[in-house]
Amino acid sequence: MEIAVFSTKPYDQAYFEKYAQDQAHEFSFFETSLNRHTANLTIDFDAVVVFVNDSVDKATIEILSTNGIQLIALRCAGFNNVDVEAAQKKNIKIVRVPAYSPEAVAEHAVALILTLNRKTHKAYNRVREGNFSLNGLMGFNLHGKTVGVIGTGTIGATFCRVMKGFGCNLVAFDVQESAELKELGVTFLSLNEVFKQADIISLHCPLNEQTQHLINKKSIAMMKDGVMIINTSRGALVDTEDAINGLSSKKIGYLGIDVYEQEENLFYQDLSESIIQDDLLLRLNSFPNVLITSHQAYFTKEAMKEITTTTLVNIDAFSKGQELENEVK
């Protein structure tokens, strides 16, 4: 098969070339993202490999279908950026990587919590400048704090186990409650009760119609004063303007995000010599109690290997007419 890989960075290409050596497929790597304006690059290809910020909407799928694309292989778990119904109408199969390294994302969420709390990023910069003052660096003990986990799938469950090790009280919301997590000591509550009780709220749920802007003016009003909110899932789970208002009023005491609503034209690029036009992001960056990373929670050696090998297995199964274990339907 001839396969076009979009949104490719050097590390993506390196992993594909390393693990695809024994496959009979030909890969072409494009740094540009896939969308309706770049979809014509898929002429003469059989399949596309896409990532989180590729826009595979109805218009894009129309072009893919015309060009003979038979398979959309997501090298990620989420598929909210793909019009699944439009693809099915064109008989284009969709596969994904449902789980790659839950530890990678869970551990990054913990890193955001610890950094925001103990202000290690600020301490590092101070010491490098010869400033050894502790003023403004006071944090709090995680031990005994109530951590609210929204979404207890593989990543959320892993996060629960890590935070249990810190001695935290764990409350959670999920449409499917986990007996295993209950045995661990996690208390499942209604979503509103999680908002009300938690000192720290960590989001580990998919983005869909029910969860879009889950963190908004109404839900923020229910939370404790000074709440810490962590998002390593999808940017649109948080209404950015409402979060900014919550930070301004000091209702939100800390905000750590690895994802952002409008990240598509920002993340994964070096814009250090550019004037960033996103006013909301600039406002977020102006708060001393906000920590933003650029969708790197998944970015470990173990996760990259799993993402690449699972994507290759998905492609190989399709090419051989085998059952697609990771098909999106």
Q: What residues are labeled active site? A: 234, 263, 295
Residue 128 vs residues 4, 115, 124, 144, 287: alpha-carbon distances, Å: 45, 17, 6, 33, 22
Stated as kind and residue range, the H or E segment containing 201 is strand 200-203
> Sheet harboring 26-29: ordered strands across?
26-29, 2-5, 47-50, 71-74, 93-95
Instruction: Copy the structure tokens of residue 174.
Output: 């999920």
CA nearest 77: which of 39, 107, 50? Answer: 50
Q: How many helices (H) and strands (E) does the chain have?
A: 12, 12
246 half-sphere exposure, CB direction, 13 A CA radius: 28
